[in-house]
């Protein structure tokens, strides 16, 4: 990203986060190399399930801690930059959603890396992994859920304006309120029907039943409830933030992304 004015951290805050992000990234890379190569030379006791039980191996635990610090500091840092077609955050809830959108961005990159490693390992060396498929499913599940949160924050979810634009302002506002109420009814219904099952799965940390056996059911079931609640909170935040805005007029031209067209033109010129 090119340098932009801070949208919520402030220049001092951005500098502090950057000073945490880069060292933690370098430390994570160094620890990954150490765990990978050091285990082959010095037998550090790293096993297939060690990342799932990091408390059993100090080397793995330190690697995961450094990785998480690197991930979230980078997510906070990049959430302070406004994308070309992004809506500027208007409050804490928007910033919170933006941070998780950056986590999602890195999650997509992680899936690509994991699957690339699996393809090389399987077809070039004839040594398929026992964890790549489950790890990619695990990450992809949260990417899918958190993408919904980001979509809500950006007002990019599917909306049909043909009738809505014909309403007077008071009826548009009533429709917005009704939509948020329906979303909260859905959220409460999901919690009502799934909370007990999610709690049970999380309490006994239900696993996937494969060779690597990660706790996909326990974490994803719990994640669904938490993220659906976050989406409902974001929808309520949108309603409050947009309440006094001038009603928009929607046309077919809204579907045209001029920025993308400009990028295509620049790439053709090059």
Q: Which sequence spans correspond to the domains of the chain?
A: 1-81
Query: In angstroms, what CA-CA distances link 171 with 75, 94, 245?
Result: 39, 26, 15
pTM recorded for the entire structure: 0.90
Residue 160, pLDDT score: 79
Spans of the chain below 70 pLDDT: 1-3, 250, 252-257, 270
Q: Which residues have CB under 8 Å from 194's CB, separation 6+? A: 221, 224, 225
Residue 270, pLDDT score: 63
C-alpha span between 143 and 146 (Å, rounded): 5
Residue 268, pLDDT score: 83
């Amino acid at each position: 990203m090119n340098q932009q004015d801070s949208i919520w951290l402030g220049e001092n805050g951005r500098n502090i986060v950057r000073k945490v992000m880069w060292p933690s990234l370098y430390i994570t890379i160094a620890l990954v190399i150490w765990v990978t190569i050091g285990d082959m030379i010095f037998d550090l006791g790293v096993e297939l399930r060690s990342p799932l039980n990091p408390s059993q191996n100090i080397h793995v635990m330190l690697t995961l801690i450094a990785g998480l610090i690197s991930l979230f500091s980078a997510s906070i840092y990049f959430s302070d930059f406004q994308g070309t077609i992004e809506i500027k955050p208007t409050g804490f809830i928007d910033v919170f959603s933006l941070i998780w959108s950056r986590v999602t961005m890195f999650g997509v990159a992680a899936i690509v890396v994991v699957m690339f490693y699996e393809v090389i390992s399987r077809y070039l060396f004839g040594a398929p992994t026992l964890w790549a498929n489950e790890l990619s499913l695990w990450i992809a599940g949260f990417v899918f859920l958190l993408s919904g949160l980001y979509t809500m924050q950006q007002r990019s979810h599917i909306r049909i304006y043909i009738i809505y634009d014909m309403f007077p302002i008071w009826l548009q506002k009533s429709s917005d309120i009704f939509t948020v109420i329906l979303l909260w009814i859905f959220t409460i219904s999901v919690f009502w029907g799934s909370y007990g099952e999610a709690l049970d799965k999380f309490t006994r940390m239900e696993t996937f039943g494969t060779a690597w056996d990660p706790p996909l059911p326990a974490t994803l079931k719990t994640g669904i409830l938490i993220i659906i609640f976050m989406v409902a909170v974001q929808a309520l935040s949108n309603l409050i933030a947009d309440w006094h805005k001038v009603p928009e007029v929607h046309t077919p031209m809204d579907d045209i992304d001029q920025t993308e067209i400009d990028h295509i033109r620049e790439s053709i010129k090059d």
